[in-house]
Amino acid sequence: MQELDLMGLKCPLPALRTEKALAALPAGSRLSILADDPLAPLDMTHLCNQGGHALVSATPLSGGGWQFVIRRG
């Protein structure tokens, strides 16, 4: 599983970089994303719904932010 560290980036950069990373992966691959933008949970959900991907998990991090796991559709 690839990991994408987007900590410190603000909307819309986390969603745009996630979309670009997913496009480079084969269908069924998983991508782990770390992001601390307050809108990241909403943006990642929207990105998955629009792109046909599956949001496998959205886990809050103890130091702030989130870890998302997305399976490419």
Q: Is 11 a catalytic residue?
A: yes
Domain range for 57:
2-72
Q: Which of 4, 7, 9, 11 is catalytic?
A: 11
Residue carrying the six token digits 């782990």: 32
> Per the structure, how many domains does the chain have?
1
- The string of pLDDT tens digits covering residues 2-49 is 999 999 999 999 999 999 999 999 999 999 999 999 999 999 999 999
CB 37 within 8 A of CB 9: yes
pLDDT at 15: 97
Report the CATH number that the domain containing residue 37 is assigned in CATH: 3.30.110.40
pLDDT at 54: 98
**Per-residue 3-state assignment (H helix, E strand, C coil) for the chain:** CEEEECCCCCCCHHHHHHHHHHHCCCCCCEEEEEECCCCHHHHHHHHHHHHCCEEEEEEECCCCCEEEEEECC
